[in-house]
Structure 1
Amino acid sequence: MNDAKSAVDHGRRSVRDISPQGIVDLRGRTDEAVRLSYPRNAVVVIAGLPGSGKSTLLRAWAPSGTVLDPRRTRASCEAFMPSWLPYAVYRPVARLHHLRTVRGRMRGSGPLLVHDCGSRPWLRRWLARSADRTGRPAHMVLLDVGAEEALSGQRARRRLTSPRVFATHERGLAALLAGIDGSGPAGVTGFASVVLLDRRLRDSSPRARFTGPPPPRREPRP
């Protein structure tokens, strides 16, 4: 009995509890487990290259908050479009619908988990501003696993991004990482924190929790 209790206690002590603020670089760490604690009204953007493991992490965190995934919006649009019409034709409409959905959800309550590559500066700024206008803190979890690992992930899920699109995301994320490494929080203006995870820590399934009472609602800013 004592041995069993000791093992449980040891397991509990091995979980490192972090309330992210600023840049939290966990790449290369050897901690057994990490738990990220966010405010109850946080908007957390899960970013990384296509195939880096964003969807896997979101599935693990889904019980804690509402997941906003642009692929769901795309699927909804495809259901109403002729099968012969290429997605590229109505992509702007699908993207606009997704952004409206995100903004509408931000006006509600409860944690939000946003699936995004994070490679587009304009979209990062839009997400941060939209969160701030509704009285929510914006946070980011960035999966820095490398291009080869991301491409391997795409092959495993049998959903390949075109080389041109992948290269665009790769350049955008490289610039983002360079900005974070060079200027710290200034590289991701508007976000209360950015947590950097590598492949090893991603595979250890970091936990997330949203704590604290719901904050007082304030009127959305125009």
Structure 2
Amino acid sequence: MSTSMDTAEAPGGYGAERRPRGVVDLRGEAGEAFTVRYPVGAVVVVSGLPGAGKSTLLRRWSGAGAVPTVDPRTVHEACEAVMPASLPYAVYRPWARLEHFRLLRSSVRRGGPLLVHDCGSRAWMRRWLAREAARQGRLLHLVLLDVGAATALDGQRARGRHASARAFARHRRGLDRLFAAFTRHVRTGAPTPTPEAASVLLLDAVSRSRAAEVRFGEPPAGSAPTPTGGIGG
């Protein structure tokens, strides 16, 4: 995977327009808001710890529903609405997960751009999504939110929803391994940990707030990009 990113002015949008290619690290970069542009029909997976700000970013990027979004929380809430209040979620969690996978598969197969909320700690999920997208000639792109455990826990408290300590620790271990693998990839040229992805955009709490919107498709004529570097390579 190459390590570069194109930048251009976003006509009628937010400052610069970023077009990720390969692994692009914007962690720690302050500045103006920007637009992220992906190819037509791209499947964009936003991942990070519970409380990292995935849902907030997806709401901003979806444009009030203009871009379809698959969020497991939606299925969770739909299941809760039809189940007895006295029934613990753990009892019907397998059914909720099955419904989520069905919704995700049908959404990918429907075509068009798609935003996906995922914890990011499950490599098999990324590979499955990449295969499903590839069957239609589409590409998988990743956005990874690296905000740290303390910030993620603060985010959970702010939203009033809490992942169990066990689930949080499991996701943290998986994402820690993933970020460590990216560090090795950058420093030593080791294989990328996500060969199934056409691009990986790494954001933290600072750059996450700058990613104001997402667009899909070719940019308007006259907005030729100026190449800029991603993380070293």
- Do they superpose with TM above 0.5? yes
Offset at residue 179 of structure 1 (A)? 1.5
Residue type matched to 1:188 in 2? T
Q: Secondary structure in 1 aligned to 2:192?
A: helix
Match of 2:215 among 209, 213, 216: 209
The structure 1 segments of at least 4 consecutive aligned residues displaced by more than 4 Å after TM superposition are 11-14
Does residue 200 (structure 1) correspond to residue 179 (structure 2)? The answer is no
Q: Residues 16 and 31 of structure 1 are in contact (CA less than 8 Å); yes or no, is this contact kept in structure 2? A: no
2:123 aligned partner:
121
Instruction: Write the deviation string for residues 171-198 of structure 1: whole angstroms up to 9, x where unpaired.
Output: 1110111122223662112110110001
Q: Secondary structure in 2 aligned to 1:195?
A: strand
Does residue 95 (structure 1) correspond to residue 101 (structure 2)? The answer is no
Offset at residue 212 of structure 1 (A)? 3.4
Q: Residues 15 and 32 of structure 2 are in contact (CA less than 8 Å); yes or no, is this contact kept in structure 1? A: yes
Q: Which has the higher helix share?
A: 1
Residue type matched to 1:17 in 2? E
Residue type matched to 2:110 in 1? G
TM-score between the two structures when normalised by the length of structure 2: 0.81
132-141 vs 149-158, which moves further: 132-141
Offset at residue 14 of structure 1 (A)? 8.2
In structure 1, distance between residues paired with 2:168 and 2:33: 30
Offset at residue 94 of structure 1 (A)? 1.1
Q: Residues 14 and 31 of structure 1 are in contact (CA less than 8 Å); yes or no, is this contact kept in structure 2? A: no
Structure 1: state its 5+ residue gaps: 1-8, 214-222
In structure 2, distance between residues paired with 1:12 and 1:108: 29
Does residue 50 (structure 1) correspond to residue 34 (structure 2)? The answer is no
Offset at residue 41 of structure 1 (A)? 0.2
Match of 1:172 among 150, 171, 174: 174
Instruction: Write the deviation string for residues 79-128 of structure 1: whole angstroms up to 9, x where unpaired.
Output: 23222222112212211111111111111132100011101122122222
Match of 1:109 among 111, 115, 128: 111
Structure 1 pair 193–82 and aligned structure 2 pair: CA distance change class (3 A): same
Structure 1 pair 51–44 and aligned structure 2 pair: CA distance change class (3 A): same
Q: Which has the higher strand share?
A: 2
Residue type matched to 1:153 in 2? G
TM-score between the two structures when normalised by the length of structure 1: 0.84
Higher Rg: 1
In structure 2, distance between residues paired with 1:97 and 1:13: 36
79-88 vs 91-100, which moves further: 79-88
- How high is the sequence identity, in percent, across the aligned residues? 53
Q: Secondary structure in 1 aligned to 2:17?
A: strand
In structure 2, distance between residues paired with 1:13 and 1:169: 34
1:216 aligned partner:
none
Structure 2: state its 5+ residue gaps: 1-8, 220-233
